[in-house]
Amino acid sequence: MSIFQAKRYRIKEVLPQTDDNVMLRVKTRLNPQPGQFVEVSIPGVGEAPISSASCNNEFLDLNVRIVGAVTEAITKMKKGEQVHLRGPYGRGYPMDYLRGKNIVLVGGGCGVAPLRGIIEFIDKHRMDYKEIYLFFGFRSPADVLFKDEIDDWSKKYNLNMSVDKAPEDNPFNCSVGFVTKLLENAELSTDNTEVLTCGPSIMIDKCIDILKSKGFSDDKLWESYERHMKCSTGKCGHCMINGKYVCMDGPVFRHDEVKGIDE
């Protein structure tokens, strides 16, 4: 089976996360690496690139945020139905290169989903990595993704979580404010430490400023880019930024590779 051709896979489970995020668990052995993505298509509606939110050989978790027609149609799919996928595509996070290092993951909103794939990878190869720090931010307690896993992550790793606002209650007992504030206040050693970010570009830009003021060099910072895509295979040029194909050279880039590129 060519990665250019969509194939049908059965939906094992539909796991609603928030008002506008639904996770599909698809039965497949495609096993994209953390940070890679697949193209999900709905016949008659269209196609959308969606990142892997898991890392295993039995199923693929796709967390989808409803923003338009395709994402809405994907989230309406039911358990037992078949979804069309092609891929996996792109260059993900450099998990081999990161062996033996401390890793800081910074995620905002649905940007936490691809980082969940990294967590699953690290869970399976825990001895290969040193300290793991998680900085996750969501808009409000109701917008927190993977609610059932937060407790487990806080036991296994250094979890720092925030919500921008908690108008009613704060069941996670987390900080209220932007995740960038948590990062700013954190004591992080730059020694043997790399930072992987995923989220809104405004959050990533702010994180990079903060991390650089803490002494991190550009080659220790990794970010995932979102661009409009068509082919995802380096053919159409839709995703190009400054001579780079986000679909093939990325979506994950080291900061010095994309520094100065206008968003």
Ligand X SMILES: Cc1cc2nc3c(=O)[nH]c(=O)nc-3n(C[C@H](O)[C@H](O)[C@H](O)COP(=O)(O)OP(=O)(O)OC[C@H]3O[C@@H](n4cnc5c(N)ncnc54)[C@H](O)[C@@H]3O)c2cc1C
Residues forming contacts to ligand FES in the complex (CB under 6 A) are 229-232, 234-239, 245, 247
CB of 213 to ligand X, least distance (A): 28
Instruction: Identify which of residues 107 and 251 has a Cβ nearer to ligand FES in the complex.
Output: 251
Query: How many whole angstroms separate alpha carbon 12 and alpha carbon 27?
Result: 6
Cβ proximity of 200 and 109 under 8 Å: yes
Beta strands in the chain (DSSP E): 7-18, 21-27, 37-42, 46-51, 59-65, 82-89, 102-108, 132-138, 158-163, 175-176, 193-198, 221-224, 240-241, 244-245, 252-254
Whole-angstrom Cα distance, residue 163 to residue 108? 10
Could you tell me the smallest distance in angstroms from the CB atom of residue 125 to ligand FES? 30
Contact 119, 61 (CB under 8 A): no
Residue 224 beta carbon to ligand X: minimum distance, rounded to whole angstroms: 7
Q: Which is nearer to ligand X, 72 or 164 (CB)?
A: 72
* Partner whose footprint covers residue 110, from ligand FES, ligand X, none (CB < 5 to 8 Å by kind): ligand X
238 binds, among ligand X, ligand FES, none (CB under 5 to 8 A by kind): ligand FES
Minimal distance, residue 96 CB to ligand FES, in Å: 24
In whole angstroms, what is the distance from residue 26 CA to residue 82 CA? 9
**Which is nearer to ligand FES, 130 or 235 (by Cβ)?**
235
In the block, which residue shows the tokens 């094992």?
A: 12
User: Toward ligand FES, which CB reaches closer, 4 or 97?
Assistant: 4
Would you tell me which residues interact with ligand X (CB under 6 A)? 37, 46, 48-51, 63-65, 67-71, 110, 113, 226-229, 251
